[in-house]
Amino acid sequence: MYHGFLRESIVRALFFRESVVISFSLTTFVAMKRNMILIFLSVILLSVGWLGVSGLTLLGAFVPLLILSERAEDSRRGWWRMFFQATLCFVLWNAATIWWIWNATPVGPIAATLFSTFYNLLAFMLYHTVSKKGPKALAYTTLVAAWIATEYWYTISEFSWPWLVLGNGFSHDVWAVQWYEWTGVFGGSLWVLVVNLLLFEAIRQRTLRKWISVAVGIALPMLVSLTMWLSYETPGDKQVKVSIIQPNIDCYEKFANTDEYQIRNIFDLMREVPADADFILLPETAMPGYYWEPTLADRLNDEESELWQELRNELRQEYPQAMIVTGANTRRYYAPGLESPTARSFGYGQGGYDNFNTAVGLDTTARIQLHHKGKLVIGVENTPTWVFDLMEFLVIDLGGVVGQIGKGKHGSAFDHQGVKIGPAICYEGVYGEFFGDHVRRGAELVAILSNDGWWGNTPGHKHLFTFSRLRAIEHRRAIARSANTGRSGFISPRGDVSSTLNWEERGVLTEEVVLNREQTFYTRYGDYLGRIAQYVLLLSVLYYIAYRVKRRNYLID
């Protein structure tokens, strides 16, 4: 009898143990499944704005991550679990939105993802840490300040790839962000973060007051923007006639001994330009070969190249009032001892030279105006030559000349018959503050010269165009964009797109473009929100440290 009771007790204990194990396993599985759903939901909401659809989903994209952070246990193990969950989210966000860099170099999207994810994690894990140990208001302030500050650092750092700045996600919703003329894209990032926090609080507390706050946070900026969008009028009524040429040359054949074809292709397309055009725009590096400054000669100390003489003669005969603004590769010589940090040496004490990715302004006079590209593509244009030779397979191939090249220090404004035009080159169109330097120097309209077909017919070249719409709003300048192949076109100061040439279309567009001399608040002060965020972040971290010290010493509850 005793043995029967003992046997029955053992069986019950084993059954209970198995039930607990099974129950725990099921609970863990359900939790993991729920967490993965939240991660993927956040990835989808973050990515939509970069996939050719509206970026308004960003206004709720962080809520799933905030829920995960709140549910995470306050322990070292919980911290690391949140770290890996956030890492997965940000890596997938990058994979969904910049995969197309793979078409130019397999390592490109990997390198960009590593840096982007690092900055995203730095901001979010700071928030997560503070939210577990400090006051809620401090945690929220830390998230907003840290995210915008890290976006700003990524914009100004040596390795700069600000593609996924949250404010860029609204490039398809220009009607909703007309106030970028005050804030720039970092104002968009601020809007996204604040609305996400309001929405998260509304979900947590489920009170009418919180939901009203969410509605106001979403609707008020939109209503302000819509009012600005509907009522906007360009100051003054002066216009110029601009022609855009899209040669449609294969990027990978462009630098492969096809000079004669490229030149003849350009001259053939110029026949479609009206005789009364004021500006004729050609893409980045449209002129094949390398030319020595300041005369644009084929060889150092030589006379002006026959190509540039032919272009000037064409202007004098067919377009006497026009200026050609075109991309070219130029070189500048430095005497021994005066070489720049990026100069390549001739050797034997002969001095050195820089290669530049250059915009050239050419008219019927003997004057030549030059602008050197100031925002260089990391790994292609901004790589020391010895590094490039050793690690060529790592470059992110986004256009222009390869290896370390000379870097322009600021924007420019070419002057032609009393009108000033800013010659921005490709990647400069991603940087709102640097783009504004063209305007601060007097540009009344801006040309963007680009050669962005390296990625094929993918979201890459399409978003370089739509980002230009945000630049137009920020500085209230009309933009004429000439790409080697799609997408070329005209953008109004309100961000509206008129005529365009799309992928693999060869042709010419001509429009009357409005001029504007007034400067916006953002033009004058640039990325001030990013700079302010740095100081707010510093104060938040210092406050958190002081708070933790007081808690440890039992000075506060």
42 within domain boundaries:
yes
More confident residue, 96 or 254: 96
Structure confidence at residue 29 (pLDDT): 56
Domain shared by 57 and 166, yes or no:
yes
Q: Give CA–CA dist 470/493, Å, rounded.
A: 9
Q: Give CA–CA dist 193/167, Å, rounded.
A: 10
Per the listing, tokens 């020595």 go with 292
290 within domain boundaries:
yes
Q: Give CA–CA dist 282/485, Å, rounded.
A: 11
Domain shared by 280 and 190, yes or no:
no
41 within domain boundaries:
yes
342 within domain boundaries:
no
Domain shared by 384 and 413, yes or no:
yes
557 within domain boundaries:
no
Indicate if the pLDDT at residue 258 is higher than 90. Answer: no
Domain shared by 114 and 245, yes or no:
no
- 239-246 and 507-514: which strand pairing? antiparallel
Tally of domains within the chain:
2
Domain shared by 252 and 217, yes or no:
no
Indicate if the pLDDT at residue 64 is higher than 70. Answer: yes
Domain shared by 439 and 478, yes or no:
yes
Which residue segment(s) compose the domain that 416 sits in? 241-329+358-525
64 within domain boundaries:
yes
Indicate if the pLDDT at residue 50 is higher than 60. Answer: yes
Per-residue pLDDT band for 28 (boundaries 50, 70, 90) equals low
Indicate if the pLDDT at residue 153 is higher than 90. Answer: yes
More confident residue, 65 or 33: 65
Indicate if the pLDDT at residue 117 is higher than 60. Answer: yes
Structure confidence at residue 398 (pLDDT): 42
Indicate if the pLDDT at residue 282 is higher than 60. Answer: yes
Structure confidence at residue 531 (pLDDT): 97
Indicate if the pLDDT at residue 388 is higher than 50. Answer: no
- Which residues, in sequence order, are CB contacts of 73 under 8 Å at separation 6+? none
Residue (of 369, 357, 482, 359) closest to 419 by Cα position = 369
Work out the average pLDDT over 62-87.
95
Indicate if the pLDDT at residue 105 is higher than 90. Answer: no
Per-residue pLDDT band for 7 (boundaries 50, 70, 90) equals low
Domain shared by 310 and 222, yes or no:
no
Indicate if the pLDDT at residue 193 is higher than 80. Answer: yes
Work out the average pLDDT over 359-372.
94
More confident residue, 51 or 387: 51
Domain shared by 154 and 197, yes or no:
yes
Structure confidence at residue 20 (pLDDT): 46
Per the listing, tokens 């007081």 go with 550
What are the CA-CA distances from residue 462 to residues 81, 209, 496 (Å)?
Answer: 37, 41, 15
Q: Domain containing 489 — which CATH number?
A: 3.60.110.10
Work out the average pLDDT over 236-243.
91
Per DSSP, helices labelled H in 441-479 are 459-475
Least confident of 12-21, 151-160, 165-174, 307-316: 12-21
- Which residues, in sequence order, are CB contacts of 72 under 8 Å at separation 6+? 78, 79, 81, 82, 128, 132
Structure confidence at residue 3 (pLDDT): 56
Rg (CA), the chain: 28
352 within domain boundaries:
no
Structure confidence at residue 399 (pLDDT): 39
CB 449 within 8 A of CB 395: no
Least confident of 87-91, 262-266, 309-313, 379-383: 379-383
Structure confidence at residue 454 (pLDDT): 76
Q: Could you tell me the pTM of the whole model?
A: 0.88
Domain shared by 104 and 122, yes or no:
yes
Structure confidence at residue 72 (pLDDT): 92
Find the Cα–Cα–Cα–Cα dihedral 348, 353, 354, 358, rounded to 10°: -160
Domain shared by 279 and 373, yes or no:
yes
Structure confidence at residue 5 (pLDDT): 53
Indicate if the pLDDT at residue 10 is higher than 90. Answer: no
pLDDT tens across 294-331, in order?
999 988 888 889 999 999 999 999 999 999 999 999 99
Structure confidence at residue 24 (pLDDT): 47
Domain shared by 542 and 503, yes or no:
no
CB 457 within 8 A of CB 483: no
Work out the average pLDDT over 166-172.
95
Structure confidence at residue 455 (pLDDT): 78
Average pLDDT over the chain reads 88
400 within domain boundaries:
yes
Structure confidence at residue 249 (pLDDT): 86
Structure confidence at residue 17 (pLDDT): 52
Q: Give CA–CA dist 474/155, Å, rounded.
A: 17
Indicate if the pLDDT at residue 378 is higher than 80. Answer: no
Domain shared by 311 and 442, yes or no:
yes
Tokens of 181: 């003329």
Least confident of 27-36, 220-229, 413-422, 432-441: 27-36
Structure confidence at residue 525 (pLDDT): 96
pLDDT tens across 446-466, in order?
999 998 877 788 888 888 899
